[in-house]
Structure 1
Amino acid sequence: MPHSVRIVIRPKCNWLLLSASFLIVHSSLPISVFPVPPSLAAPTLAQTPETKKAADRLLDQGIQQYQRKQYEAAIQSWQQALQLYQELKDRNGEAIALNNLGIAYRSLSQYETAIRYYKQALPIYQAVKDRNGEADALNNLGNAYGSLSQYEKALRYYEQALSIFQAVKDRNGEADALNNLGLANQYLSQYEKAIGYYEQALSIFQAVKDRNGEADALNNLGLANQYLSQYEKAIGYYEQALPIFQAVKDRNGEAGVLMNLGIAYRSLSQYEKAIGYYEQALPIFQAVKDRNGEAVALSNLGGTYLFLSQYEKAIGYYEQALPIFQAVKDRNGEAGVLTSLGIAYLSSSQYEKAIGYYEQALPIFQAIKDRNDEAITLNYLGLANQSLSQYEKAIGYYEQALPIFQAVKDRNGEASVLMNLGSTYLVLSQYEKGIGYYEQALPIYQAVKNRNGEAKALNNLGNAYGSLSQYEKAIGYYEQALPIFQAVKDRNSEAGVLNNLGITYLSLSEYEKAIRYYEQALPIYQAIKDRNGEAAALNNLGITYQRLSQYEKAIGYYEQALPIFQAVKDRDGEARALNNLGYILFVSGQVAQAEQTLRQSMQVLECLRVGLKDENKVSIFEEQTTTYRSLQTTLVAQNKFSEALEIAERGRARAFLELLAQRFGDSNTKAVKDGESDPVKPQSKTTCTSVKPPTLAEIQQVAQAQNATLVEYSIIDDKTLYIWVIQPSGAIAFQQVSLKSFLQGTSLAQLIANIREDQLGVRGLGVVPVQRSRSTQLPQNLSFKTLHQLMIAPIAQYLPEDPNQRIIFLPQGALFLVPFAALQDAEGTYLIQQHTIAIAPSIQTLQFTQQQRQRLEAKDSDTQPALIVGNPVMPKLTLEAGQPPVQLATLPNAEAEAKALAQLLQQPALLQNQATEAQVKALMPQARLIHLSTHGLFNDRLGLSSSVALTPTAKEDGLLTAAEILDLKLQADLVVLSACDTGRGQITGDGVIGLSRALFSAGTPSVIVSLWAVPDAPTAFLMTEFYKKLETTGDKAQALRQAMLSTLERYPKPREWAAFTLIGES
């Protein structure tokens, strides 16, 4: 009889997709091939002996090639054998050749081709009444559908195979079918059903003394228990399987069970043990020339180093595994390791690289119709985009993954996506939505008895309620999660939830309880050798003792945490520990030592920003501003006011300056005169900053070059404001203002918000307004006067008496939203009536804007005088993730403003349908003046989504975003955004992140924006006056002041004239 290859799914090791997601760990299972020894059949009379021998020889040759994993060569041999059997009308040989071809194509991940061959073999086996062959073909069809994640179809084929094996009393076949039924149920998360099938298979294998089969069944029982988080039980089964594989000299089986032992110990956070088992498995796979197993072992080593946060080692192992999977044409393995590389880069915060690997893996999974892993990769694409703050994109990927997981009935995968959706909405501060997704995930984990997932869902619910300051509820969820993590022996997560309980009790000021939880977490982190966790727990203990004013103890904990952070190269943790240590040294009176420690923290923080994309620099800088503030306080305490100014300047707009240096360094350098400092000259390679922070002398030079008085503000905390005044002569004055006495129970940010809320402009979005609370508001005139008392009165003696002399304010934080022009002194005089005003993000940016203006003046290029846009056909806007878009209101008065300006400047205006996004983008780089009279939109969650509304087309959405502006090269000397809220954006330690920042980065030295929705009529009047004055004076700050004064006479309320602010060159 011709020889057949029987495929039996006997998973020997978990492999490939070791997830670094904080929500779910997913692993796929390998498929092992067990060929049945050949048996002989007597030739029939109809067969030509030589042809028959040739066909049988080709069949044998194919089997040998298959066993050497030469699948394509095996296919060629079996195709030739098939043709001969068909010529001989040898139906039995034909069926076996077809069946074997199916097996080879399945090994090449070409599952649909495999199914076609199996389906051709099946009716032939039935016709010749070869019931064993029929059962094999049914079993193989089950395997192929299982590879396509169509597990219910697979079950139906396995059940048919089982009944035939039982009918013909083929006990080995019966046990194999039971084993496969177990595996299919395992994939459907029916773990207890799977265990039932494995136990039936085990007893048969033992009865027929099939020791290989017995070891396989024990191994599979280990896997099923591992999925139920019963890791100790799983290890018990693996330890029974291992000596059997060794006894029967099944080296592949031995290596596979060593791999599974590694995975079980990894799940118990015993990473060193896990690595030990993988390192035993690897040389066995290499010795038996099982290249696939070798790649799997390398991949799992990579995954374990991933858990240990040793990302470079992890990547090294994955990069060894990848070419092996490619060489053996294991497309599933190739895609899996690409996904794992993505996870490694995701874990090391290299999100774009991670996305690149996921995008390579995804089409492979789609091509081989592996829907389960397709969904997993989509899930990771969601995580990577979420990490880049691309929340809409992340939600889109999660929403693609979710129905796939549901379709293939992967309930664990379904729950993981629900968890990730919950986490995304949590970041968007949509806590109720986030909780809703977690509450959907929790019962799924409970239904499939995934206790680890259940505990993680409970933990995340605790995090969500903690974000809502509902600490008691948060504690309730953490307390439910903790015993589950303990029961499944997930020590890492156990320590994590103990840490979360500590943080929550810290928020409740229950310091003793917080300490108890941190002290429980600490020895666990130490036991599992999680040095990052250990350092974090020590740091948190330091913070808690600091709150208790037990400074010596706090210093002790920080000093223990610091060398650990340094040893594991956690620069962020190192910087935080240094910052905390510096602060505690300061409050305990060790001021000089505090200064030294805080300077070290600052240097580490600046190194963290190297190599990041601009938006990521902004995000990380926002977290780092505490150190700069603490260092300023330490210097002021030593009366080092000028050094404190240097740090205040060093601690603002760094990401912005680094972006400007990257984009305009060469041209700006040429514009610097001999002897002047170059703001964009890169530092030497021994430092981490790409732009040299200004020295005191350089700050004084800027004041002289601008011929302006510079006023720099630094908000230290909710009680203290620092103000420096740098006069054109170089003289520097410092004032420290106590905020508490002025604010009457409110905060500085709320005081500014009260002013903004009182400016009830007309040029709004045309959507349903939000009811505003007035409970904490001061009367408007008192708010303006209070801000004047805080910000202007303490330095009034240092300001110029000549109203034509410019003052450039350098705000920080919420002060960017202060309408300086409208601040009133005790007599009710507005600041604009006394002074000419401009603002800038930092002193050093003024060097840049001056050079940009000089560059534009020197450039002889073909430009248009002006681009004027008014009242486009409005686009629709999504105001909230997951909600339908709303239509923006039209602005007829903005159209009138644009027409009046066009007449004044003798230039055409783009109105309504003419003002398409594509047309405006095309004309912006050619214009010397850009005036946009339309809606301005901002996104508090991600500043680069701030945008200007224009006419949409089939290819453009009508939202000209800050990110799109960054891609332009502008030659405009001035851009005016005569629209609502164009001065708004996310306020960070790097300044206002939005439209004005994008325009400067695109090459514009001066921008006028509005701080609130301005009424139409006064806006049109003010803008007309501004352009008239600009034509006569050529000075933007003077022109804006004169326009405001003229508007004030006609429209006396500040909301009608004070919103517009000049940023940059005047």
Structure 2
Amino acid sequence: KAMDIGMKSYGEFNPNMTFVYNSYSNILKSKEDYKGAIDLLEKSLKIREQTYGNAHKWTCESNYKLAEILTLDKQYEKAIVYYKQAIKIGKEIKSSQYLANAELYLAKLYIEQDMQFEKSQELILSSLDKNIKVFGYENDIISEDYYWLAELAKKRKNKEKFFAFITRALKSAKYDKNSLEEVIAPYQALSALALMGDWYMDTYERTENTKALEDKFQLIDQEIALIKHIQKNFSTDQSKINLANEYRKVFEKGLNTCWILYHKTKDLKYLEKAFELSETNRSTTLLEGLQDTKFKLYSGIPKELLEKEKKIKQTLERVKLDLYYEVKSSNPDKEYYSNLLDQRILWSKRLDSIHLVFEKDYPRYVDLKYSNKVIGISDVQKNIDRYTQFIIYFLGENDLYSFDITKDAVSFLKGAVSKDLIEKTNLFKSNLIAQNDIQKVSKTLYRYLLKNQLEKTKENLVIIPDNVLNYIPFEILQSDDNKYLIEDYIICYVGSVRIFLELNNDFFKYSPPKFWAGFSPEYTDGNTISSASNEIKSISEMVDGDDFIGENSKKQNFLDNNKNYSILHLAMHAKINNEYPQFNKLVFVDGDLTASEIYLSNTKANLTVLSACSTGFGKLEKGEGIMSMARAFHFSGVPSVLMSLWEVPDKETKKIMISFYKYLEKGKNKSEALRNAKIEYLASTNDKNLLHPFYWAGFVLNGNSDQLYGNYTTYYYILLGLILTSIIWFFIKKRI
């Protein structure tokens, strides 16, 4: 917005524009577009040199800001030149603030590159002295200076100085683990705690003294509490996801600490803490979205206020969508674009205002929202039967961790296989979609992911994948005896244990008036899915459902009926936007239904079947999972989603879907019905090509696996029983 106004008011090369260029470069830095940020900062520096000359504070700032991005882009020698130029200018103009910044940044580069330690200390102490005179002792700038002195002491293995500087860094941040609301520099405090933990781990690795490891363990709760405190102050889901990704390393290091201590001591507190760590950084925003609807209803927030919030959200999402299309257009209308930016700011403020009302006037909502209830292993075991096993993965940069939980047992495993596992998973996925031979890599993945994890006596598997593991169907991993996993197990997937428990809550079990509706558009551009309409007609006849085919398969028809059916079946094209997943969309005959619209749709179906192209695919956020169309339906309140991981051929899709419903009718639960449909498909053909998993393994079930037909059959039997009882009672009474 500022860039647009500035260009109109000042022109591209006006010195006032340099402030906008610098601000925008910060955004590009956050998006890791270092080349774009460098271009802007080089332009800014050139303008400032021409306008103010070399000996000026703004020229000094441009030099060290440019050097900072060059460092991130690994152009270290060039960065050092610009840092030194900034220091030279700072000394000439006697600007303590800009000189202090340049000194600290150059010292950071030296320390990170393990060079010039003496010079680094000199630079940081000089920066610290200047900053204390300007800012005093308690603020984020002073805390960061002390942090880097501690980092330098750690590199030099100077224990006394390390803890002295860490203590000062925490004190400058006003950190008190019992009073987080008073912390004025939470990021610096978190970095200091993490650095202290690294010191303890280094000590343990050097001495094998478990006391150092126990000291690190004591820091874990403090780190997690700080991360949650920071997240609480973010208003957008994407900000929370970005933070979780940024501090994922904290969780991985904590898991490693717990794993070592648990296997050394067998003390269950370390196992429980490891499980808590694994859950805390997993599908957090999806869980919050599911719980938020429930918490608002439980808190007594008036219906009209909730409706007002919904309308504001819908308007804001429409504005964002219009902005997206305008930016992507070949000839954007600058005036219209500017107006849309104004609208986004306006509606964002209105949404913030109504959320402040919720938190101010409805204290029970605040209590529920920020209760941070911890889920333990026993909570899992209470909620599963003796035939079920959970396998929960955490795929870090170095190690794969897995928790294997049954009704009466648990194991916690670790393997230093991450790099090879990620490489093999990506190879498996690409070979699978290309219909190449996958047996060798499939067996490798089986050994990494299942061989030591599987409990042979359990037939139901709940898989909680992580990172790139979200992209593959575990059903087709093969054991050494060439058997697919699906041959022995019934499998479903879910984002986290907390999501599993939430989606099995009675709040998300609906009793809509009708059972099934199917939607299948016919597109005018000749892009119609050939078997989709036949698929919908066949299933509709089988289950006595309602079909919305061709011209009737409209977006508005779907939105008008998304609370009226237990199953919603969508056989249509999906378009996936990896850059902006909120604009993933399903293509109806009269327009697109975006993921952001689905989020707000409050869909009340017990199952959504997405037999569209790649509806389980999307942008991967390591802790949050895949930002897919399936996730959007979960977010809107649907407890089970059957989705595709790739574009499954039309004919095979139809066969599997019809078979799936056949087994649902027989009273099988959703996971078992899908498994039986796949097994039946394999038995139906001898064609070697069609037996390739590409043709039949793409559909997976995410969420709960409850029976659907059993519930409806029971409902109708009860209803019929009541009617018969009433008739009999009527005749008995008449005779009397």
TM-score, with structure 1 as normaliser:
0.52
| Residues 487 and 733 of structure 1: CA distance in aligned 2, closer, same or farther (over 3 Å) | same
| Residues 655 and 488 of structure 1: CA distance in aligned 2, closer, same or farther (over 3 Å) | farther
What is the Cα deviation at residue 950 of structure 1?
3.7
What does residue 731 of structure 1 align with? 409
1:526 aligns with 2:206: no
Q: Distance in 2 between matches of 1:501 and 1:921?
A: 57
Q: Distance in 1 between matches of 2:254 and 2:664?
A: 43
What does residue 1065 of structure 1 align with? 704
Q: Distance in 1 between matches of 2:299 and 2:470?
A: 29
1:929 aligns with 2:567: yes
What is the Cα deviation at residue 603 of structure 1?
1.9
What does residue 710 of structure 1 align with? 390
Asked if structure 2 preserves the Cα contact closer than 8 Å seen for 1:873 and 1:913, the reply is no
What does residue 607 of structure 1 align with? 229
What does residue 282 of structure 2 align with? 652
- Correspondence 1:115-514 to 2 at 5 A: 378-379=1-2, 398-406=3-11, 411-449=14-52, 451-510=56-115, 512=117
What does residue 760 of structure 1 align with? 433
| Residues 597 and 757 of structure 1: CA distance in aligned 2, closer, same or farther (over 3 Å) | same
Task: Give the stretch that moved more between structures: 691-700 or 915-924.
Answer: 915-924
1:1052 aligns with 2:691: yes
| Residues 476 and 966 of structure 1: CA distance in aligned 2, closer, same or farther (over 3 Å) | same
Q: SS of 2:569's equivalent?
A: strand
What does residue 845 of structure 1 align with? 499
Q: Distance in 2 between matches of 1:750 and 1:549?
A: 36
What is the Cα deviation at residue 428 of structure 1?
4.0
What is the Cα deviation at residue 669 of structure 1?
11
Q: SS of 2:375's equivalent?
A: coil
Give the paired residue count.
610
Q: Distance in 1 between matches of 2:59 and 2:530?
A: 56
1:871-908 CA-partner distances (Å, limit 9, x unpaired): 6568xxxxxxxxxxxxx966445555445545544545
| Residues 908 and 594 of structure 1: CA distance in aligned 2, closer, same or farther (over 3 Å) | same
State the Cα RMSD in Å: 3.5
Counterpart among 731, 751, 766 of residue 424 in structure 2: 751
What does residue 978 of structure 1 align with? 611
Q: Distance in 2 between matches of 1:558 and 1:969?
A: 48
| Residues 421 and 821 of structure 1: CA distance in aligned 2, closer, same or farther (over 3 Å) | same
Q: SS of 1:574's equivalent?
A: helix
Q: Distance in 1 between matches of 2:368 and 2:125?
A: 38
**Residue identity opposite 1:997 in structure 2:** R
Q: Distance in 1 between matches of 2:574 and 2:675?
A: 23
What is the Cα deviation at residue 506 of structure 1?
4.5
Q: Distance in 2 between matches of 1:698 and 1:629?
A: 23
Task: Give the stretch that moved more between structures: 607-616 or 1034-1043.
Answer: 607-616
What is the Cα deviation at residue 517 of structure 1?
4.7
1:833 aligns with 2:521: no
Percent of pairs identical after alignment? 21
What does residue 781 of structure 1 align with? 439
Q: SS of 2:397's equivalent?
A: coil
Asked if structure 1 preserves the Cα contact closer than 8 Å seen for 2:519 and 2:572, the reply is no
| Residues 894 and 494 of structure 1: CA distance in aligned 2, closer, same or farther (over 3 Å) | farther
Structure 2: gaps (5+ residues): 176-182, 205-211, 263-269, 301-362, 706-736
What is the Cα deviation at residue 710 of structure 1?
1.1
Asked if structure 2 preserves the Cα contact closer than 8 Å seen for 1:1015 and 1:1056, the reply is yes
Q: SS of 2:475's equivalent?
A: helix
| Residues 818 and 416 of structure 1: CA distance in aligned 2, closer, same or farther (over 3 Å) | same
What is the Cα deviation at residue 912 of structure 1?
5.7
1:586 aligns with 2:201: yes
Asked if structure 1 preserves the Cα contact closer than 8 Å seen for 2:10 and 2:17, the reply is yes
1:774-833 CA-partner distances (Å, limit 9, x unpaired): xxxx9743332222111101123x2435xxx31101222232223211211122221112
Q: Distance in 2 between matches of 1:626 and 1:657?
A: 21
**Residue identity opposite 1:733 in structure 2:** S
| Residues 825 and 914 of structure 1: CA distance in aligned 2, closer, same or farther (over 3 Å) | same
Asked if structure 2 preserves the Cα contact closer than 8 Å seen for 1:668 and 1:848, the reply is no
- Correspondence 1:640-1039 to 2 at 5 A: 640-665=270-295, 689-704=370-385, 708-715=388-395, 717-728=396-407, 730-739=408-417, 746-760=419-433, 780-796=438-454, 798-800=455-457, 805-852=459-506, 855-857=508-510, 859=511, 861-863=512-514, 865-870=516-521, 872=523, 891-892=529-530, 894=532, 897-898=535-536, 900-902=538-540, 904-907=542-545, 909-910=547-548, 914-951=552-589, 953=591, 958=592, 960-983=593-616, 984-1039=618-673
Q: SS of 1:1004's equivalent?
A: coil
Q: Distance in 2 between matches of 1:574 and 1:1013?
A: 47
| Residues 873 and 905 of structure 1: CA distance in aligned 2, closer, same or farther (over 3 Å) | farther
What is the Cα deviation at residue 511 of structure 1?
6.8
**Residue identity opposite 2:448 in structure 1:** L
**Residue identity opposite 1:793 in structure 2:** K
Q: Distance in 1 between matches of 2:527 and 2:48?
A: 46
1:473-510 CA-partner distances (Å, limit 9, x unpaired): 33344344443344444433333333333444445443
What is the Cα deviation at residue 1047 of structure 1?
3.5
Structure 1: gaps (5+ residues): 1-377, 380-397, 671-681, 741-745, 763-777, 875-887
Asked if structure 2 preserves the Cα contact closer than 8 Å seen for 1:761 and 1:1014, the reply is no
Q: Distance in 2 between matches of 1:950 and 1:552?
A: 67
Asked if structure 2 preserves the Cα contact closer than 8 Å seen for 1:1006 and 1:1064, the reply is yes
**Residue identity opposite 2:174 in structure 1:** Q
Q: Distance in 2 between matches of 1:1058 and 1:459?
A: 53
Q: Distance in 2 between matches of 1:497 and 1:889?
A: 58
Which of these two proteins has the greater Rg computed from alpha carbons?
Answer: 1
Q: SS of 1:795's equivalent?
A: coil
1:565 aligns with 2:168: no
What does residue 148 of structure 2 align with? 540
Asked if structure 2 preserves the Cα contact closer than 8 Å seen for 1:502 and 1:517, the reply is yes
Q: SS of 1:714's equivalent?
A: strand
Counterpart among 191, 195, 205 of residue 576 in structure 1: 191
**Residue identity opposite 1:574 in structure 2:** A
**Bigger relative contact order, structure 1 or 2 (CA pairs below 8 A, ≥6 apart):** 2
What is the Cα deviation at residue 599 of structure 1?
1.4
Q: Distance in 2 between matches of 1:951 and 1:489?
A: 67
| Residues 488 and 748 of structure 1: CA distance in aligned 2, closer, same or farther (over 3 Å) | farther
Q: SS of 2:614's equivalent?
A: coil
**Residue identity opposite 1:795 in structure 2:** Q
What is the Cα deviation at residue 937 of structure 1?
4.1
| Residues 588 and 1030 of structure 1: CA distance in aligned 2, closer, same or farther (over 3 Å) | same
Q: SS of 1:699's equivalent?
A: helix
What is the Cα deviation at residue 974 of structure 1?
0.8
Asked if structure 2 preserves the Cα contact closer than 8 Å seen for 1:405 and 1:414, the reply is yes
Q: Distance in 2 between matches of 1:506 and 1:901?
A: 65
TM-score, with structure 2 as normaliser:
0.74
Q: Distance in 2 between matches of 1:462 and 1:949?
A: 46
What is the Cα deviation at residue 632 of structure 1?
2.6
Asked if structure 1 preserves the Cα contact closer than 8 Å seen for 2:508 and 2:639, the reply is no
Q: Distance in 2 between matches of 1:419 and 1:968?
A: 39
**Residue identity opposite 2:441 in structure 1:** S
Q: SS of 1:411's equivalent?
A: coil
Q: Distance in 2 between matches of 1:862 and 1:932?
A: 19
1:274-332 CA-partner distances (Å, limit 9, x unpaired): xxxxxxxxxxxxxxxxxxxxxxxxxxxxxxxxxxxxxxxxxxxxxxxxxxxxxxxxxxx
What does residue 338 of structure 2 align with? none
Q: Distance in 2 between matches of 1:595 and 1:924?
A: 48
What is the Cα deviation at residue 537 of structure 1?
2.5
Q: Distance in 1 between matches of 2:368 and 2:130?
A: 38
